[in-house]
Structure 1
């Protein structure tokens, strides 16, 4: 076990990575755990690190650990005979070492454990040797005077991080710019790394400075995609800004997340704090719990505040006044996660706000001109309504009002033409939505899932960009809107558990829909014949539609290449519990050329069509609980699963003796007619099944469940 010790920026991680890459092929398993200090401070951090350690060493195995003690036992048990290479980077607490690499005998002979830390005592107290080395990267020759290069090295103070950042800043610059930079550095009384690093920050344009400070204060370790979405809403040129920061070695792209050295992050946060050490309400950014509490409790925010991001659990609830944000006129970003902040009256928000994330928010009041707001996420909040003629949400793209129990209405949103996502899941008091929603041309996702009191949806749906429509659990919704014109982007339609009685003939305009869920629509009595025009449909679920006694039959010849009807791609058809008295629609097998899973359980039909053997893609047939079903005809050759248990009237099964050799699963629980009422077993195809199950060279397995003595006697006699 080896310890690498030294201050931040000295190159410990770089050195450990180089060593790891050089020798990893000499071990049975390897793991490099970066930023142990940072990750262990997160909720469940040590457990997650233990899972990562095991999963990296056993590369094809996913481990789940519930407690630190369980993880310790698992590491000891699985690694005590395994030669491993383990790097623990940036450790600052003995508990981290004890959880991840407590003793040498945890690991097999020949293992190597490398620990990097800024705390020398931590390493020596754990019986490790320590190594203190400066690590420099190779650099190409540049056409710059030697004395200027020596000056840059001197001001970097022997720290690789400072040298990397300063070198990235000077790279490509001409001699006068080198002289100017070194002159500025010469004014620094001591070679403090923060001040050296700040030289690179001072050379940034305003766009890059703002992006850098937001990342340093709020977004280190977050995904580039999410960061870009937030910062774009603030009118920054985010793509080029991030690229420039990477070029200057101020941030790094690691697996599509933005990472930043601790010292660079500290420098950025210090720049913000220097604006006013004693009064956080006069700083541009607030992210520490004590600072946010101070500003909220004493109402000391000013127009200097541009962004507030808090992702910490609050020790107690904070009560704020309606005017808390009144003086923060330049506030563009407000993200309050993990705590409970309430108000006894409606809280007014500033007009400059672009991005709002505030779960459990009090009732909010938007100014008369919230035209810059782009994101509004206030799930489980006390908001009562949104919209109206006086409010112009011209840039608003996304709304999430999930589980806003007090929300009673969504007013006219025609002033929000850029809306892309509207989430109203679980808004139990919502009775209707404004017809303007049906005209939002850019809307992609619309979810009203579990809006149990929603009665009036839309009369017409015109949103051509819509990709997902979810009305799951809207148990009082009786009418589905007419679809005006072809909707070429809608892939998913979920109407599970609604009170809809029928679908309009205009359903044929959903030309791209792939998944349609109508399960538990107990008032649904019919489907239009036009449903066969949904040629991209892959899954159709009509399970437990107890009043749907028939499925429409396609009368057209689907073998005709010019025929307009037929499910070209339907793979799954669920019709369980529908009270179907016949399944004649299956006789036109060319309407279902791709069908793989056919679920017909708990229906009332007596016979299946003999052409079922022409469903060549069929893999699974479920007729469980079809109590009046008497016969199952010959099945297609590649079927794998047949569920026919509790079919009390079943007398004849298909002869599967000639079927290809593959694993079969056949369930025949409580098939009384078949096994218990004196049927001549020699004439029943199931005899072949039972005989085949004894032939070991034909891999066929049949599961027959016997529930009464009468059945047992019959089977034993066979």
Structure 2
């Protein structure tokens, strides 16, 4: 939702419902504190509250971590979304506290005892982003048991989860975010293969991961795999692997030196990002089998040429090769009619002519800091081109293009 529309909606709610306890959503610090501290017989008026955000109190430019007493939640019987932004829980919550909770966003969670005391039976989304809470193997198994209905689990920046992550076969998990987790093993538990509904897996900055877990091969529904900034050395896939995969991001995998022919097995791949893989020197011939590829980013690699098979990338729309070692304009891309953006910025070895005659859909061409002398567009030019970034002295004649 656009920020201005969000602000307008909140102001309308405040204006029409002066009593915060009668609103369905509470986010303002003062309104939240007033509502949580209501006493009998006013509790019944807070039954309409379905979403509650408890934020930090700023006092004299110092961050004071607020704590909410568990007793304050007993009259919020219809609460479905709870956001505790670096806030804690006091008291001893009962096991049936907040039984209708569907979405728990507890950034900065510190005590696992308070986390496990909440009712998670109906929980669909759990966000523990940037939490210092420590979870060992037994804690992890307990969490999986209590929150068996989870579809989204966000553990981004939780360095103290040291368990080997095991998943029950019945869990309907769709999105798993492990970004920045210091996993105890260099791979992930084989039980991940049982997550038949998993669509997105984020393992960015999991620096202990040195190879792709074999168990990933059987994830039939996975569409997005992010291994950005890991220690993976080689991209290799078995026959039948990841049939639904559309996005593979392996940017900043600084020790990644090989992409094998098996990459061609990912028949439905739409986006492949290998930016800043500084050991990568080339691509395999079978890369051309990625016929549905729409975006490729090879920037800041050691690649100096593209294999001839890339002429099969008939659906390619974006090709980025910033600061690579190309020596000549790639012949294989000259007839890719759907290509819209071409970025060869800082390809300092790229010389001779840049012939984009057959690239009829081109909208953006970036050629700054190259040794190209001429840009050739054919007799009629390129009607869709509206941004051309080039160095002074590069010959290009087409009045509708904007030179920057």
TM-score, length-scaled by structure 2: 0.71
Return the index of the structure with the highest Cα Rg. Answer: 1
1:618 to 324, 342, 362: 362
SS in 1 for 2:308: coil
* Greater helix fraction, Structure 1 or Structure 2: 1
State how far apart, in whole Å, the 1-side matches of 2:266 and 2:239 are.
Answer: 10
Please name the residue that 1:374 is paired with. 124
Aligned to 2:30: none
Q: 3-state DSSP class of the match of 1:632?
A: strand
For structure 1, the 5+ residue unaligned runs are 1-32, 40-88, 93-215, 223-268, 289-306, 559-565, 668-718
For each residue in 1:204-254, what CA deviation from the matched residue of structure 2 results, as whole angstroms up to 9, or x when unmatched?
xxxxxxxxxxxx8673599xxxxxxxxxxxxxxxxxxxxxxxxxxxxxxxx
**Cα deviation, residue 443, structure 1:** 0.5
CA distance in 2, matches of 1:571, 1:433: 34
- 5 Å-filtered alignment, 1:336-347, equals 336-338=83-85, 340-341=87-88
Tell whether the 8 Å contact from 1:358 to 1:377 is kept in structure 2 after alignment.
Answer: yes
Which gives a bigger RCO, structure 1 or 2 (Cα 8 Å, sep 6+)?
A: 2
Task: Tell me, yes or no, if structure 1 residue 419 matches structure 2 residue 167.
Answer: no
Alignment of 1:121-160 (within 5 A): none
8 Å CA contact 2:234, 2:260 repeated in 1: no
2:209, 2:154 → 1: CA distance? 17
Unaligned stretches of 5+ residues in structure 2: 1-7, 28-34, 58-63
**Alpha-carbon distance in structure 2 between the residues aligned to 1:221 and 1:343:** 20
Cα 1:284–1:476 shift into 2, 3 Å: farther
1:364 paired residue number? 112
Deviation at 1:516, TM superposition (A): 2.3
Answering whether residue 377 of structure 2 is matched by residue 635 of structure 1, we say yes
Q: Contact 2:307 / 2:332 at 8 angstroms: preserved in 1?
A: no
Structure 2 counterpart of 1:505: 261
Note the 1:176-191 alignment, pairs <5 A.
none
Give the Cα separation in 1 of the matches to 2:218 and 2:177.
18
Give 1 or 2: higher strand fraction. Answer: 2
Give the CA deviation at 1:597.
1.9
TM-score in terms of structure 1 length: 0.43
Q: Are 1:653 and 2:401 matched, yes or no? A: no
Q: Do the aligned partners of 2:48 and 2:78 also contact (CA within 8 Å) in 1? A: no
Whether contact under 8 Å (1:462, 1:483) holds in the other structure is no
The answer to whether the Cα contact below 8 Å between 1:389 and 1:412 also exists between their aligned partners in 2 is no
Deviation at 1:429, TM superposition (A): 6.3
Residue 446 of structure 1 is matched in structure 2 by: 201
How large is the RMSD of aligned CA atoms in angstroms?
A: 4.5
The verdict on how the C-alpha distance between 1:408 and 1:455 changes in structure 2, with shifts beyond 3 A counting, is: farther
Write out aligned runs for 1:218-237 (5 A).
Answer: 219-220=24-25
Equivalent position of 2:140 in the other structure? 387
Q: Partner of 1:526: helix, strand, or coil?
A: coil
Superposed, 1:398-409 pairs within 5 Å as 398-409=152-163
List aligned pairs for 1:47-446, cutoff 5 A. 219-220=24-25, 277=41, 310-313=52-55, 315=57, 316-318=64-66, 335-338=82-85, 340-341=87-88, 355=102, 356-364=104-112, 366=116, 373-385=123-135, 387-388=140-141, 391-392=144-145, 394-427=148-181, 432-446=187-201
Residues paired across the two proteins, number:
363
Partners of 1:394 and 1:514 in 2: CA distance: 32
Cα distance in 2 for partners of 1:475, 1:443 equals 21
